[in-house]
Amino acid sequence: MKVANGIEMLELTMNMMGQQSVIHPTLIWDENEAVLVDTGIPGQLAEFREAMDNAGVPLNKLSKVILTHQDIDHIGSLPEILKASDQKIEVLAHQGDKPYIEGDKPPMKMTAERVAKMLESLPEEQRQKIQSLFGTPITAKVDKTIVDGEVLPYCGGITVIFTPGHTPGHISLYHHQSKTLITGDALVAVNGKLLGPSPQATPDMETALQSIKKFTKYDIETVICYHGGVYKENANQRLAELVELR
Ligand SMILES: [Zn+2]
């Protein structure tokens, strides 16, 4: 889905733990850079290829990947994407999640025990498929760590907004030209409604709710939630409401 010139919200179907849902990585580009924000679950390289071709930005043009955080549904296809590209892709993430992404620490949520438990509950054929996808930890090297307030000089400027809570190094992004806020999992959209972070998936809810206050500093036309997609209706007002509601 085209959000504005040079920014496209991708729509990929994810099948995880027997549950199907749609996830929304974002592609931002201009003549110098093509930036992908988040990389789906393991095994989605072909879907990324197709979605990027459709957007007119083939995978080989990709120059940067920005990870909002360490969770498996955000870093899953990164190793495959890096391998598939002819050119070097720079990977950016916050220091707080870097050790998890690089495999120096085990992932906070998809622990080995949780994977084992999930596998137990599945029928044999599914079990094999899931095991091949999630059985080995996904890791990738982070080339550059990014900090709160940093304006990345890509595609007319992308501001890093540090929004911990969902994970310790969670970030959101603001693309200036299109006035788009990319929330990662700091917010979700459900049936067209913009909501706070998902309580089941957010270990430090108190911090996560503090974090969303930062969004009210920006003039936002479009919000992209990784889970739930685009929200456009009076975004600034709705964000102010969410902060007040807590
Ligand atoms: Zn997620």
- Per residue in 34-45, pLDDT (tens digit) is 999 999 999 999
| Per-residue tokens: 177 | 């030209």
User: Can you list the alpha helix ranges (DSSP code H) found in 34-101?
Assistant: 45-55, 72-75, 78-84, 98-101
CB neighbours (10 Å) of residue 222? 18
Residues lower than pLDDT 70 in the chain: 17-18, 118, 246
pLDDT at 124: 78
Burial class (CB within 10 angstroms; exposed 0-12, middle 13-18, buried 19+) of 230 = middle
Question: How far is residue 216's CA from residue 213's CA, in Å, rounded to a whole number?
Answer: 6
**Number of neighbours of residue 189 by Cβ within 10 angstroms:** 19
Rounded to whole angstroms, how far apart are CA atoms 76 and 93?
Answer: 14
- Backbone dihedral region for residue 123 (phi beyond 0: left; psi -120 to 50: alpha; all else: beta): beta
Tell me what pLDDT residue 128 has.
76
What residues does 174 pair with on adjacent strands?
A: 159, 181
Instruction: Please give the distance, rounded to the nearest whole angstrom, from the Cα atom of residue 71 to the centre of ligand 1.
Output: 6
169, amino acid identity: G
Give the pLDDT confidence of 24-35 residue by residue, as tens digits. 999 999 999 999
Tell me how far the alpha carbon of residue 170 lies from the centroid of ligand 1, in angstroms.
11
pLDDT of residue 151: 98
Bridge partner residues of 184 (DSSP): 225
Give the distance (Å) from ligand 1 centre to CA of residue 226: 7
In which region does residue 58 sit, left (phi positive, over 0), alpha (psi from -120 to 50) or beta (all else)?
Answer: beta
What's the confidence (pLDDT) of residue 109? 85
Distance 136 CA to ligand 1 centre (A): 19
**How far does residue 227's CA lie from ligand 1's centre (Å)?**
7
- Give the pLDDT of residue 131: 73
- pLDDT at residue 17, as a whole number: 67
Which residue range is the domain that position 70 belongs to? 2-245
Total count of domains within the chain: 1
Would you put residue 109 in left (φ > 0), alpha (ψ -120 to 50) or beta? Answer: alpha
Cα of 185 vs centre of ligand 1, distance in Å, is: 6
The CA distance from 168 to 151, in Å, is 20
pTM of the predicted model over 0.85: yes
DSSP letters for 201-236: G-S-HHHHHHHGGGGGGS--SEEEETTTEEE-TTHH
How far, in Å, is the centroid of ligand 1 from the Cα of 109? 11
Q: How far is the CA of 6 from the centre of ligand 1 (A)?
A: 24
Question: Which CATH number does the domain housing residue 199 bear?
Answer: 3.60.15.10
Separation of 73 CA from ligand 1 center, angstroms?
5
Q: 89 C-alpha vs ligand 1 centroid, how far in Å?
A: 22
